[in-house]
Structure 1
Amino acid sequence: MTAATIAALTTFAAVFIALLAAHSVGDHLIQTHHQACTKGAPGLVGRLACLRHVVTLTATKVGALVALILVAGLRPPLLATAVALAVDAASHYWADRSAPHPDRTQAVTLERLAKALRKGGFYQLGDRMLAPTGTGAYALDQSWHIGWLFITALIIAGGAS
């Protein structure tokens, strides 16, 4: 194994762990109640609530990467990191526009994807308004986000080689 390969693998592992921790904090602790309840609303109100959530979530991820840089001395490439975080933010916004909202009358984004993948029944499990974190929709939402964190870490690590 070459030094470049080891460096890329180290970068990937460290970045993925930092992003995974930051995702959990940003998606659950930092997100406001208003954002969580409104980000799936139709129209400008929902789009802006979702955008505010994604901005604070991305800032949380940037904070985790800065901590990683300061503590571990890791130096991920700036351009690859910026591109990767933009890709992650876009994927998160896309999926979160499917958030439960009483005014939503049609399947949107992640729900449509779940149906296309024959996971529509799983997506519908549980009451999304009463217990959003104990539902099929929540499990698929988090799976989507974690998959994109993997891709984000790959983009950053790939830019380091």
Structure 2
Amino acid sequence: MSRARRFAVAYPLLRAAADIADHWVQSDHQAATKGQSGAAGRRACAAHVASYTAVQAVVLLGGARLLGVRLRPGPVAAALALSAATHYVADRREPLRRLADATGKERFVRLADHGLNGGYLLDQAWHHAFETCAAIIASA
């Protein structure tokens, strides 16, 4: 089976799982608290990332199996670890805000007008980029 085929299966499964985990599985408490400084924020973010990673694992492995695509455990574990680590960094909010400021996006990251939320859009772009990297790793 080609690596391209494994990637073509892994990416949409990781992406769908991410949306499910971020928007349906994540609790209101986690969403409201995960970006706060201090232990409460770190705990809420860690709990969210744990459930997020579990959802991605179930969807990736279950979906690949249903589609008859065999993924190797080592690359899958590495892909999920990358997704989890980068998700935690983004969801702590301040690191992404600092990155946005450093790259000239200081106004956009704080945009919350005209139906847009710049911070959320940059957060999602970050996740999509690292989910793509994770899918590449999982397809090895």
Give the TM-score normalised by the residue count of structure 1: 0.83
Residue equivalent to 1:130: none
Aligned residues: 139
Give ranges in structure 2 of 5+ residues lacking alignment: none
1:3-18 correspondence runs (5 A): 7-18=2-13
Report deviation, 1:48.
Answer: 0.5
Deviation of the 1:126 alpha carbon: 0.6
- Post-superposition offset of 1:69: 2.9
RMSD between superposed Cα atoms in Å? 1.3
Quick one: distance in 1 between partners of 2:64 and 2:46?
27
Matched to 2:33, the amino acid is T
Is 2:9–2:64's contact at 8 Å kept on the other side of the alignment? no
23, 28, 31: which one aligns with 2:26: 31
In structure 1, list runs of 5 or more residues that go unmatched. 99-107, 128-132
Shift >2 Å, 4+ stretches = none
Residue 118 of structure 1 pairs with residue 113 of structure 2: no
CA drift of 1:73 comes to 1.6
Please, what TM-score do these two structures have when normalized by structure 2?
0.95
Mapped partners of 2:121, 2:99: distance in 1:
14
Bigger Rg, structure 1 or 2: 1
In the TM superposition, what is the alpha-carbon distance from 1:117 to its structure 2 partner? 1.1
* 1:97 to partner: Cα distance: 0.3
Contact 2:10–2:64 (Cα < 8 Å) also in 1: no
Q: Which amino acid aligns with 1:141?
A: D
